[in-house]
Amino acid sequence: MNPMLVAVVLGILQGVLEWIPVSSEGGVALASTALTGVSSAAATRLALFLHAGTAVSAIVYYRTEVREILASVRDLSRRPFASETADLSFIMVATVATGVTGLPAYLLLDAAVSDLEGGLFLAFVGGLLVLTGLLQRFAAALSLGEREIPDGLDAVFVGVLQGLAILPGVSRSGTTVSALLLRGHEGESSLRLSFLLSIPAALAANALVLVDDGVPAIEPGEAVVALGVSAVVGYLTVGALVRLVRTVPFWAVCTAFGGLGVVGGLLVAL
């Protein structure tokens, strides 16, 4: 396949899969391996690199919230996790927790996928996709009360799980949204917090890959195209998902996408 077309396909996959409870990293890595023949390790690094495109999507879509969060910095020292600083406090603490768990997970990932080629790699990704899908199914039913603003425990809990979601096959959005639902946040609020939290995590993952290995698997020009496509498609997809959640009960959305994750994981594993 033409390399530029491959870049477009990978960008579309990242833009669509990032926001639904199916691993964008696992999907993009599998597609990269199939379309380019690169090693599973290089494909996984490329998948992490492309998260920067959907980070731009989140920044643009939630631009009002991002401006408000940045403006609340001046109040942070006096009122962390107060109503006006809760989002900023949540993102900061969760991002630190993500780094604490994500860096060791990245090093483990790098060693693990280097030894998992072909069918073993597919089975590994498929098994993790199944676990992610099952988590979606029960998150809303096990909700622990009702919360309007995040607190410190939310931030640590969600941040740790987001760090572990660097593993291929684990859905970042699915895991973090499920964690927020379990903590008692309602559907649209869980999406918003999850997607805002994706911004520093995605940019950090992109920087980590660049420092560790440079632009992986594809040429720089193709990488720019893939990032641009993922940003545009990601913006359209996140808007569609938020509108869906406003009209359909969130447990139904989670169950539907969780089933998709389970079926997709089983098909991949087979």
User: pLDDT, tens digit, for every residue of 125-157?
Assistant: 555 555 655 665 666 566 556 788 899 999 999
Helix (H) or strand (E) holding 218: none
pLDDT at 137: 62
Q: Which amino acid is at 3?
A: P
pTM above 0.85, yes or no: no
214 or 68, higher pLDDT: 68
pLDDT at 196: 94
Residues above pLDDT 90, as percent of the chain:
28
94 or 204, higher pLDDT: 94
> Rounded mean pLDDT of 225-249?
88
Mean pLDDT (the chain) is 79
Instruction: Return the exposure string of 192-213: e unless at least 16 CB atoms fall within 10 Å of the residue's CB, then b.
Output: bbbbbbbbbbbebbbebbeeeb
CA dihedral 224, 227, 232, 235 (to 10 degrees): -150
> Rounded mean pLDDT of 53-62?
94
Enumerate residues 6+ apart whose C-beta is below 8 A from 176: 158, 161, 162, 165, 193, 194, 197, 198
Closest-CA residue to 178 (of 146, 147, 132): 132
178 or 140, higher pLDDT: 178
| pLDDT band per the 50, 70, 90 thresholds, residue 89 | very high
pLDDT at 119: 46
Q: What distance in Å separates the CA atoms of residue 171 and residue 22, rounded to the nearest whole number? A: 5
> Rounded mean pLDDT of 256-268?
57
pLDDT at 144: 57
Q: What is the pLDDT of residues 201-233, one digit of tens each?
A: 888 888 878 877 666 667 888 889 999 999 999
| pLDDT band per the 50, 70, 90 thresholds, residue 167 | confident
